[in-house]
């Protein structure tokens, strides 16, 4: 396994291959081509000697567009620093007896053929699926750029369905099934987390298992807080609890806390909105001061009567809320399932609130027409929760719309399907079926046919 160097022949071969790939783009009227497999990446770069090491160290893939070549750094553990990624690559080379080869191999462009100016400093946070640009010419610098459509939107999990498992068991299960992002339940009923302790900075009981299993804690969710309760003492309790959650999120490295608005059941929606103006500015300011986003989930909590949990349940209310309370630290945790059964157009809502969708849920719902025709809608029994793909959400259009608006956070599975809740084995199966169903929509790596087409032009791997 000798050292790899680029030659004039290498450069010419690389350029021919890129030209072939761009012809495929043109023939398919596509914007970009994603080479996800190691074989395809090796074929393009010609760097067979070291591609295994590089792929092991930083898990990179290649994207070809009409005007540039991109490198997708899909690091195994999101949240580490770019400098650490580079250090891991260096160690990977050194461990295999090629200590000097890493810098020689990676000092050029995507395959070492073109020079670049590195603007991404070693302290840049590495996100899962982050894309770096390697422009084909010295006049274009190397810089962190935005995602191309749909690349590596990960699947996460809100593991409230595993309420009887402790954190170690939950994170171990997630790692085993390649789910790397967690949205944790932040309420007091979960026996295995003491949120008072976490707020004091005692986080090892959560962060140690997270680090051990490669889990990124992204959000804390607790909705059963009534910030608009007619009793001031209960309002105050809710406010203090949410502030504790914000501190906990900060201590755990989570980027957001999700909740409901609360509701005074004796008032209509508009009157409740007026009450929000007195309560939420303080909460939003507190979240901003701790660099944690405050998100509203749109579940109507329709099982509770009189309604007391949420007024942020439809796009018209979102308009009113965000026009009065506009902050970059205040947004939505978007659950399409609760729009579908209300008869609300999910796709229109995505585009209408594209600036406010900070997280999104993967949960489906099914409207039962036979029940609706005889019982109506007021008692709430005309719909039920389902796993993704077995309800009425159009996941292809929903995920496409998320990609189109620039959403690049994980899509968090929330499991409440009664068909898959009989026992813990059924719950596991429900979560995994959801993951299996969603992955084809999230994976932009289906280029095997295109790759075969390139091979037919006579360009073989070296």
How do residues 42-56 score in pLDDT, each as one tens digit?
Answer: 666 655 444 455 444
Q: Specify the DSSP element, H or E, that contains 275.
A: helix 269-289
Band of the pLDDT at 381, cuts 50, 70, 90?
Answer: confident
Residues linked to residue 33 through DSSP beta bridges, in sequence order:
64
Per residue in 328-349, pLDDT (tens digit) is 999 999 999 999 999 999 999 9
The answer to whether residues 198 and 248 touch, using CB atoms and an 8 Å cutoff, is: yes
Band of the pLDDT at 379, cuts 50, 70, 90?
Answer: confident
Q: What is the pTM of this model?
A: 0.67
Pick from 55-64, 134-143, 352-361: least confident: 134-143
The larger pLDDT score, comparing residue 450 to residue 440, is at 440
pLDDT of residue 128: 43
The larger pLDDT score, comparing residue 237 to residue 109, is at 237
pLDDT of residue 309: 85
Band of the pLDDT at 406, cuts 50, 70, 90?
Answer: confident
The span from the CA of 242 to the CA of 246, in Å, is 6
Pick from 78-92, 137-151, 381-395: least confident: 137-151
pLDDT of residue 41: 62
Residues linked to residue 81 through DSSP beta bridges, in sequence order:
125
Across the range 379-400, mean pLDDT stands at 89
The answer to whether residues 72 and 151 touch, using CB atoms and an 8 Å cutoff, is: yes
pLDDT of residue 275: 92
In order of start, what are the domains of the chain with their CATH numbers? 8-150+445-456 (no CATH), 155-442 (3.20.20.150)
The answer to whether residues 127 and 72 touch, using CB atoms and an 8 Å cutoff, is: no
The span from the CA of 293 to the CA of 287, in Å, is 6
User: Who contacts 320 (Cβ-Cβ below 8 Å, separation ≥6)?
Assistant: 270, 273
Per residue in 66-125, pLDDT (tens digit) is 666 665 554 445 455 656 666 776 777 677 776 766 665 554 443 444 433 333 444 444
Band of the pLDDT at 408, cuts 50, 70, 90?
Answer: confident
Strands 130-134 vs 32-35: parallel, antiparallel or unpaired: unpaired
The region that residue 271 occupies, defined by phi over 0 for left and psi between -120 and 50 for alpha, beta otherwise, is alpha
């Amino acid at each position: 396994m000798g050292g790899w160097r680029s030659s004039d022949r290498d450069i010419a071969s690389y350029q021919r291959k890129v030209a072939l790939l761009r012809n495929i783009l043109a023939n398919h009227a596509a914007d970009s081509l994603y080479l996800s497999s190691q074989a395809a990446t090796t074929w393009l770069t010609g760097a067979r000697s070291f591609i295994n090491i590089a792929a092991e160290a930083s898990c990179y893939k290649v994207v070809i567009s009409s005007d540039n070549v991109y490198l997708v750094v899909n690091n195994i553990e999101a949240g580490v620093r770019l400098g650490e990624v580079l250090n891991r690559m260096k160690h990977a080379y050194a461990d295999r007896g090629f200590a000097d080869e890493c810098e020689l191999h990676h000092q050029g462009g995507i395959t070492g053929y073109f020079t670049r100016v590195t603007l991404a400093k070693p302290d840049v946070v590495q996100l899962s699926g982050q894309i770096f640009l390697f422009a084909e010419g010295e006049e274009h610098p190397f810089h962190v750029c935005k995602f191309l459509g749909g690349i590596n939107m990960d699947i996460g999990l809100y593991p409230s369905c595993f309420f009887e498992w402790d954190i170690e068991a939950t994170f171990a299960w997630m790692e085993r099934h390649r789910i790397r992002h967690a949205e944790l339940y932040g309420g007091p009923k979960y026996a295995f987390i003491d949120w008072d302790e976490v707020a004091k900075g005692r986080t090892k009981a959560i962060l140690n298992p997270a680090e051990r299993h490669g889990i990124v804690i992204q959000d804390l969710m607790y909705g059963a807080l009534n910030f608009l309760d007619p009793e001031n003492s209960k309002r105050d309790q809710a406010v203090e609890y949410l502030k504790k959650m914000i501190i906990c999120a900060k201590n755990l490295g989570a980027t957001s806390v999700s909740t409901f608005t609360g509701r005074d059941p004796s008032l209509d929606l508009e009157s409740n909105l007026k009450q929000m103006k007195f309560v939420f500015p303080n909460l939003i300011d507190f979240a901003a001061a701790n660099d944690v986003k405050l998100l509203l989930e749109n579940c109507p909590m329709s099982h509770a009567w009189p309604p007391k949990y949420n007024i942020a349940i439809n796009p018209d209310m979102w308009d009113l809320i965000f026009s009065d309370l506009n902050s970059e630290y205040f947004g939505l945790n978007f659950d399409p399932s609760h729009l579908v059964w209300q008869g609300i157009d999910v796709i229109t809502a995505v585009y209408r609130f594209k600036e406010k969708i900070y997280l999104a849920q993967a949960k489906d719902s099914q409207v039962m027409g036979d029940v609706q025709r005889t019982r109506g809608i007021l008692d709430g029994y005309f719909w039920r929760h389902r796993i993704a793909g077995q309800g009425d959400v159009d996941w292809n259009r929903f995920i496409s719309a998320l990609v189109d608006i620039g959403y690049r956070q994980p899509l968090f599975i929330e499991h409440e399907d009664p068909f898959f809740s009989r026992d813990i084995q059924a719950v596991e199966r429900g979560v995994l079926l959801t993951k299996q169903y969603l992955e084809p929509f999230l994976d932009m790596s289906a280029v095997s046919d295109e790759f075969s087409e390139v091979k037919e032009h006579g360009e073989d791997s070296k």
